[in-house]
Amino acid sequence: MRANIGDLEQAFTDFSAAIKSDEKCPDAYCKRSMVYNSLGLFKRSKDDAQKALALWTSSPVPERLLDHAGILENVNNSAASSKEYELVLSLLHDPKSINNLYLAACAHAGLHQYKDTIDCLNKAIKSGGDNSLLLLRSAAYGKSKSWQLALEDIDRYLEANPQHPVGLNIRGYILFNQGKLREAFTNYDYAILLEPNFPYALHWRGRINHERGAYRDAIKDYTSAIALDDTDFASLAERAHCYWHLQQWATAIKDAQQSISINPKFMTAYRYLAESQIGAGDNAKAIEAYSKAISIEPQNASLYFNRGMYYRGQAQYKEAIADLAQAEKYNPSDPIAYCARGSALLSDHQYERAIEDCNQSLKLDPKRAHPYLTRGISYSRLGNYKLALKDLDQVLKMAWNYYGEAYYERSQIHKILGNERQAAADLKESKMLKRASAEAM
């Protein structure tokens, strides 16, 4: 038997053959458990470790593999508790042991203590740990968003193991987060070519297809990942979002609900569920799903923004204003949130406050037309026609998609001011633009 980490398929074949020839060989179960672990198939890794433990009760190895697979499975499913990880850390008595440092690094990662994860791996590498520790440190750097350090580690690892699917998958993830989608896609593609049953690589290749709008290709990849791991809540949620893009509301809702049933704390699934329920016309359930997402991530500005925009669309302006205020609070550099709340305030006849929000939006981004439009209409409602016309004229220099509304509002001001000819001309332009827009749709 040979455990070549660069050739997991061959290693799997060898260990499976050994098990077939001797079903009571604990060493073969242990080593196949390691292969499954390297592929991210933690349930299968635990199964093999459990079989080895039943056959080899005198050795600590199967139990350690079982604990390790359990830790990583819980990390993957966001299901581990802090107490579980702290318990693992309390059991690691020998800080000089490379294996203990490795397990401690895994436990720190479970607690999202990535600096401590990296410290443990640095010590393990310094103590003579093998090349595979670079793989883990790269992942930890990635979790810390230290993308360049992550890339340097994974490139060093892949230089020695150029055909390692997990390494290629991690490299793809780093490149994905650096916005290098084409290069990331190539890494995932190669990982899948080497190991077709690699759920993580399938998931992330699906994410890239998803990003570029190839929703049916993304669905195929997510479906393949789910077939390999029916607890893959992330792929279920992302597949739901693809179905949402394809306006297959019922299927999207079903996938999002299944994702939530596996991991009730996965915020993204609730967000996609809400969006799908809006598409299906189930307003009450959409609000319920958004509210649940916010209870999980109460400082997530985009969730408040999305729910606020939905409220605004339903003419529930008080609720919209409250949510968009939270969006501003948690992302004060976002000009769109200020403009959106300004629009809701205008609809709620709070014109002075609408102007204040539009001022802030334009301070953050003076090149956007919508704040000028909202502020111009607010000035008009307050009777400040000079400033209103100035803003509306600015809109007509910037964004054609607001021309119809700007011409209409300007026509009303000119009518009030007694400029009948200009009012008629602007109203004519507004009607022409409205008709052209309707025909285009």
Phi, psi of 57 (to 5 degrees): -70, -20
CATH number at residue 38: 1.25.40.10
Instruction: Please say whether the beta carbons of 243 and 280 come within 8 A.
Output: no
- Segment 137-161 shows an average pLDDT of 94
Does residue 81 have a pLDDT over 80? no
Tell me which of 179 and 10 has the higher pLDDT: 179
Instruction: Look at 81-90, 105-114, 314-323 and tell me which has the smallest mean pLDDT.
Output: 81-90
Domain membership of residue 169 (yes or no) is no
- Segment 310-322 shows an average pLDDT of 94
Does residue 170 have a pLDDT over 80? yes
Tell me which of 125 and 350 has the higher pLDDT: 350
Domain membership of residue 170 (yes or no) is no
Crossing angle (nearest 10°) for helices 403-416 and 385-395: 150
DSSP helix/strand/coil, 238: helix
Domain membership of residue 1 (yes or no) is yes
Structural domain containing residue 23: 1-80
Domain membership of residue 54 (yes or no) is yes
Report the pLDDT value the prediction gives residue 175, as an integer from 0 to 100: 96
Q: Kindly indicate the confidence band of residue 17, based on its pLDDT and cuts at 50, 70 and 90.
A: confident
**Overall number of domains in the chain:** 1
Instruction: Please say whether the beta carbons of 194 and 163 come within 8 A.
Output: yes
Domain membership of residue 63 (yes or no) is yes
Instruction: Please say whether the beta carbons of 366 and 346 come within 8 A.
Output: no
Domain membership of residue 181 (yes or no) is no
Report the pLDDT value the prediction gives residue 69, as an integer from 0 to 100: 62
Does residue 430 have a pLDDT over 60? yes
Query: Mean pLDDT for the chain?
Result: 87
Domain membership of residue 372 (yes or no) is no
Percentage of residues of the chain with pLDDT beyond 70: 85
Report the pLDDT value the prediction gives residue 76, as an integer from 0 to 100: 46
Report the pLDDT value the prediction gives residue 95, as an integer from 0 to 100: 54
Does residue 439 have a pLDDT over 80? no
Domain membership of residue 225 (yes or no) is no
Percentage of residues of the chain with pLDDT beyond 90: 62
